[in-house]
Structure 1
Amino acid sequence: MKWFKTATLGVALALLGGCASMESASDNGSQWMYPPMAVPLQASVQQEVQIARLSQLLLRTDLSDEIRAKMLYERGNYYDSVGLRDLARLDFNQSLSLNPAQPDIFNLLGVYYTQIAEFDAAYEAFDSTLELDPSNSYATRNRAIALYYGGRLELALEDMQAHFDEDPNDAFRALWLYIIKSEVEPEQARAELLARYEDRDEQWGWVLVALMLNEVSEEQAFKVIYSTSTDNMVLAEQLTEAYFYLAKRYQQEKKYADAISLYKLAMSFNVYEYVEHRYSFLELGRIYTQLRQEQVEAGE
């Protein structure tokens, strides 16, 4: 899922509705021999050309600060889309030095800081976004996620609840509200998400909700993905999302080996712009930290 859109696929829910009649892997003896995969995304010729073109134009000395700031922002977005995040962050900071009134840049920087667990810097960046653009609901969502990873669950829940209330039919908002609330009230969080799932619309994201709730088997979910993916890019995007949320479920169940493998799969498709790719790194670090703590406690 990118910062500003979610995919909708009417056919996905039709297929999901038919999953109940499908034979499960355990019933017919068939299982995935290998995890479902897509070809990892590579930088396109257009992206490379645009980066080169903007780099050449930025060498000019006759650019106004306004134009240079816009070009740095644009090149930063291209860097980000191909996974060159340090270069993107450098361009975004240079753009802000020329024009500080850019809420979208602060929002992206907040996500970067969340990824590397610099949570105070992330909160400050999201606060700057909302000061400049109070209606930016995605900054509210991203701040809620940063607060969640930073261990400030009450504030995280408050922000995510406000974000969810703006569009209760959004499956991704429901998913993240569940993820955060399950840390505080797991039974209530599950009951609420299940009720929303049963009253779902035709968004693709409800397939992920079904996977998170274990309402469909993994085989059934992957059948939906393969049936609705129109090309390799869509397949890579949907598998990135599916593996991330499936990993979250296994992590909640304390099946850490499975969760680690799935987070690595979520990163393997190079869908750099999706939050599921970005936060898989952070989740892996959290698991490793938790396992180390458990080993230390067991040794005492």
Structure 2
Amino acid sequence: MKWFRSIAALLTLALVGCAAPSGQAPQGQWVYPPMAIPLQPSLQQEVQIARLTQLLQRSDLEDDVRAKMLYERGNYYDSVGLRDLARLDFNQSLQINPAQPDIFNLLGVYFTQVGEFDAAFDAFDAALELAPDNIYAERNRAIALYYGGRQTLALEAIRAHFVQDEQDPFRALWLYIIEAKDQPEQARKDLLELYQHKDEQWGWVLVAMMLDEVTEEDAFRAIIAGSRENELLAQRLTEAYFYLGKRHQMANDFASAISLYKLAVSFNVYEYIEHRYAFLELAVIYRQLQAERAATENADGL
């Protein structure tokens, strides 16, 4: 495996090197986007899936043990992108033991991805009823309300989530995204104020990029400098491309947004919400462009 790691490291450095802008590139832009090697299922993940599958065939398992194994295998399926299989295991686990808030949270995310928002709200409500302090269900419920068009409730939910940790850059980003839908100037002012009091968490680089306080080139240089391992680089680039795509989308630069969302999903970081919701954002843009095209055609036909 050493030779593979060496080749992977060299390839990562080569891909990163392509990010350097040429003399003809505009200031703050890159010729080729910074890349990482897309993540692949690890030997441990494959072995654990096979092991749990074998154990689940036993007929003498206690119900609570079977429910736990189904949950664990579902998590492994989810981590390698097999979401339908993961969802099947999660549902079977809930049939045995319905008091599992983490499963309800994941199911809520799945329903949000496919636009089944009522089902998503029910799942998040169940998760929070079982575990009122589940911060992931709180955040994901606010995001689902945002995507589901319930703006007032989304803003109320994300504000309540944000005040629990005002130094969390990702809470600040989602507060900005949701608030900017109706009040873009106020949202930017609020995020800029938060940015002035930032700490050392790396996510504030994403906030700076969203605010255009740093160039894209400098932001990616900071990400690359702090992400020497390929897995960490893939994770951070997934987040960076998603939020940069959102910035361009909010500016109605749909061509750039589409390209960036595609980059966000290219690294196979299946467990990150930025990977999951990039697909949803692409669908939102597609529907918006289709509606605009239909409106133009109708106007031309009059």
TM-score calculated relative to the size of structure 1: 0.90
Counterpart in the other structure of 1:133:
131
- Matched residue type, 1:292: Q
Counterpart in the other structure of 2:286:
288
- Matched residue type, 1:225: I
Range that drifts further, 25-34 or 82-91: 25-34
Counterpart in the other structure of 1:276:
274
CA distance in 2, matches of 1:65, 1:56: 16
- Matched residue type, 1:295: R
Please state if 1:187 is matched with 2:165: no
Please state if 1:261 is matched with 2:229: no
Partner SS for 2:163: helix
- Matched residue type, 1:198: Q
Please state if 1:239 is matched with 2:266: no
Counterpart in the other structure of 2:220:
222
Given that 1:81 and 1:273 are in contact with CA atoms closer than 8 Å, whether structure 2 keeps it comes out as: yes
- CA shift for structure 1 position 241: 0.4
CA distance in 1, matches of 2:146, 2:32: 33
Residue 168 of structure 1: which of 155, 166, 169 is its match?
Answer: 166
Equivalent residue runs for 1:36-51 within 5 Å:
36-51=34-49
- Matched residue type, 1:183: K
- Give the RMSD, CA atoms, in angstroms: 1.6
Consecutive unaligned residues of structure 1, counting only runs of 5 or more, are: 1-22
Counterpart in the other structure of 2:91:
93
- Matched residue type, 1:195: E
CA distance in 2, matches of 1:188, 1:203: 24
- CA shift for structure 1 position 298: 1.1
Larger relative CO (CA 8 A, sep 6+): 1 or 2? 1
- CA shift for structure 1 position 122: 0.1
Consecutive unaligned residues of structure 2, counting only runs of 5 or more, are: 1-20
Given that 2:29 and 2:215 are in contact with CA atoms closer than 8 Å, whether structure 1 keeps it comes out as: no
Residue 53 of structure 2: which of 49, 52, 55 is its match?
Answer: 55
- CA shift for structure 1 position 27: 9.4
CA distances 1:118-140 after superposition (whole Å, capped 9, x unpaired)? 00000000000011111112211
- Matched residue type, 2:272: Y
CA distance in 2, matches of 1:152, 1:31: 36
- CA shift for structure 1 position 34: 1.1
Residue 147 of structure 1: which of 145, 148, 155 is its match?
Answer: 145
Mark the CA change 1:56 to 1:178 in structure 2 (over 3 Å): closer, same or farther: same
Given that 2:29 and 2:216 are in contact with CA atoms closer than 8 Å, whether structure 1 keeps it comes out as: no
CA distance in 2, matches of 1:26, 1:196: 35
- CA shift for structure 1 position 24: 11
Q: How many residues align?
A: 278
CA distance in 1, matches of 2:56, 2:78: 18
CA distance in 1, matches of 2:90, 2:228: 33
- Matched residue type, 1:43: P
Mark the CA change 1:275 to 1:67 in structure 2 (over 3 Å): closer, same or farther: same
Equivalent residue runs for 1:77-116 within 5 Å:
77-116=75-114
- Runs of 4+ aligned structure 1 residues displaced above 6 Å come to 23-30
CA distance in 1, matches of 2:122, 2:80: 26
Counterpart in the other structure of 1:8:
none
CA distance in 1, matches of 2:238, 2:28: 24
CA distance in 2, matches of 1:30, 1:149: 31
Mark the CA change 1:72 to 1:35 in structure 2 (over 3 Å): closer, same or farther: same
Mark the CA change 1:29 to 1:245 in structure 2 (over 3 Å): closer, same or farther: closer
CA distance in 1, matches of 2:131, 2:24: 51
CA distance in 2, matches of 1:137, 1:45: 31
Counterpart in the other structure of 1:68:
66
